Structure formats: structure tokens, C-alpha cells
Amino acid sequence: MKKALIFDPYLDTLGGGERYVLTFALGLIKNNYDVVLAWPDRKELELAQTRFGLDLSPVAIDSEAYGLCSQKTAYAERLKFTKDYDLIFWVSDGSLPFLFSKNNLIHLQVPFKRLGGNSTINNLKTVFIKKFVYNSNFTRNVLEKNLQKDKGFVLYPPIDTNGFIPGKKENIILSVARFDSPSHSKRQDVLVEAFRALSKQVKGDEILTQKLRTSVKGLAVEFIINPEFNELKKLNSQAKFFWHAAGFGINEQTDPEKVEHFGMTTVEAMASGCVPVVINKGGQKEIITAGTGYLCEDNAEIAQKTIELIKNPKALMEMSKAAIDRSQFFSTGNFFEKIKLLL
């Protein structure tokens, strides 16, 4: 069998990007690769299985490879270490590595405005790279100001659209996001204000969480911290609306890394029949098409569009069905099919 190495320096954050990387590993296994993850131990994989609902037992761990990937390694040592692999999938931290496998893929999840390192050396490194794999066209367009366009490849994140299914809908507005996102704020405070406006018309981080708890006193808002994956699916199945405000108040041209790079939780909600009402920034614009949800400029518009649908149950039902149909474009099955184009 062919040998593949995966390196993700952020694996212990266990965010959406890590689900992407680990699902990519499973896609390689489906295509008859032995997959090794460069990481110190299996602890994070065990946590990921619970959080993401993935069977990661076929993925091997190599702590020595982790040391060689996570530290600055001499050119000759990196050549010796990587040349025996048939494929390497490397998550960039904003810099480019020297890699010498038969098929080097650099995955860029964050729309970095500039890449670290010497530009001349970076140009040399790209000679050995087959493809730059982006999680959205938004990320791609930002990074291709510094990288070769002919090596760009958009592989949208994999969404378990079969696992997220509609249930008996209740009068619930759901928002799913980290309270301590390392790259960009999810702006739950904006959603609280939107709900405050809506409530007048119709009847992560511990410090941030406490501030939000205080701000919602008197509102029908509940915080569910670190739900297990099955609980998350249940919440999606029950909710009628999905709200998301990452990128609010941000200029995506000057600070692209501070807006939503794609929006995996938005697609999960759509697969569950939730109508997305989200901020019109970043990758969200690639998810929501006409009739499948709303892209809004501020919290007032989020409240307004939600109220319009609450008052028009037929339109809400039609948009819910359209959202489900649209979500299938981002299915795990499509993700696995597109991986074949990289092999």
C-alpha cells in the first residue's frame, strides 16, 4: 500500500479544521493509503472520535515524525525523512515547508495576508509542492496574491449531511461556535443583541462566557458548553434557525483572517433543516445561495429577517427544504470524490 503522512500543528485545538484534516485521512485510507499522523500520542485522536463522530482507529501515530515536522529540520534531514512517502498532507501555520514526497499537498485553512519566510526560498519550496489545498474560494483568493494560481485547489470541508437530519422543529434559534476561537472571534455578543431586538417584537473562554451569561439575563438564552456530537446533532434537528456572526464589523479585505474562513457549522445546520441567518462575510457567501438562507450586514438585519420568516411559516418551510438540498453539495461523499483528484 502507499504511504501517506499528515501533519497538523493545531490538532490539539480539535476545531473544524481538525475535523477536516482527520476526514481527509479517512479519505486517503479509502483510497488504499496507510496513513500516519505526526503527533506525540493518541490522546487527541480519542477525543476527536467523541467530538466529531469519526472512527479513527485505522490512523497510525508517529511521535518521531511529529518531532521532525514540528521543529526546524535541516534540509538534508527533511529530504531523508520525507522522500519515502507517496503523499504528504501538511497544514500550514503561515509558512511553507520543504517536502520531498511524491505528492506534496499544503493545506491552508486561514487566509493569511502574507506568508512567513524568505520569498526567494518560498519560491523554491513551491517547486516541490503539487497543490495548495484551500478550504474555500475566499481563502484561496487572499492567498493567491502570494502563491501560484495554477497550483490552487479548493476542497470544501466535509459535512456529515447524512448524520445531520431534521427532527420535530421547535421555536429554537441555534448558534454553534467556539468561545475561544484562536484566529477569529465568533461574535456571540452580536447575536445576543440581535435576540434582544427580536425579543421585543416576538414572544469558550470562561471570562467571555461569564460576560455573555450576564448580558442575556432576562432573555430566553441558554448556553450549552462542549456538547457531545450526538447532542449537537439533536440541537440542530430541533432548531428552526441558525445564527452566526463571525466577521461582524471586520473589513475582510484588510483583515481576512478575522472573518469566517468557511462555515462548517452553518452547513451542518442547513442539513438539519435550520434556516441560516448569518453575517455576510468570508466563506459564508459561498455556502448560502438565493432561497437557502439570509446573508445579513448587522444584528438588526439578523433579527429582521428572522422575524419575517417567523411570520410566514410557509416561506420558512420552503427555505428549510432548500437549505437541506444546498447542504448536500458539501457532503462527505463529495469531499471523498474530490480527494481523488489530488491523488
Q: Which three cell numbers stand for residue 107?
A: 493545506
CA nearest 240: which of 298, 178, 170? 170
Higher per-residue pLDDT: 224 or 201: 224
Cell numbers 484551500 correspond to what residue? 134
Beta-strand relationship, 33-37 and 2-7: parallel
How would residue 320 be classed by pLDDT, with cut points 50, 70 and 90? very high
Q: How far apart are CA 40 and CA 266, in angstroms?
A: 32
State the pLDDT at residue 212. Answer: 46
Taking only the tens place, the pLDDT of each residue in 170-206 is: 988 888 765 445 454 455 566 666 656 655 555 444 5
CA nearest 6: which of 52, 41, 38? 38
- Which domains are seen in the chain, by residue range? 2-155 (3.40.50), 173-330 (3.40.50.2000)
Taking only the tens place, the pLDDT of each residue in 128-187 is: 999 999 999 999 999 999 999 999 999 999 999 999 999 999 988 888 765 445 454 455
Taking only the tens place, the pLDDT of each residue in 29-57 is: 999 999 999 999 999 999 999 888 899 99
pTM above 0.95, yes or no: no
Sheet with 241-244, side-by-side order of all strands: 173-174, 241-244, 275-279, 294-296
Q: Which three cell numbers stand for residue 119?
A: 520569498
pLDDT at 287 over 70: yes
Q: How far apart are CA 241 and CA 237, in angstroms?
A: 10
Q: How far apart are CA 340 and CA 322, in angstroms?
A: 28
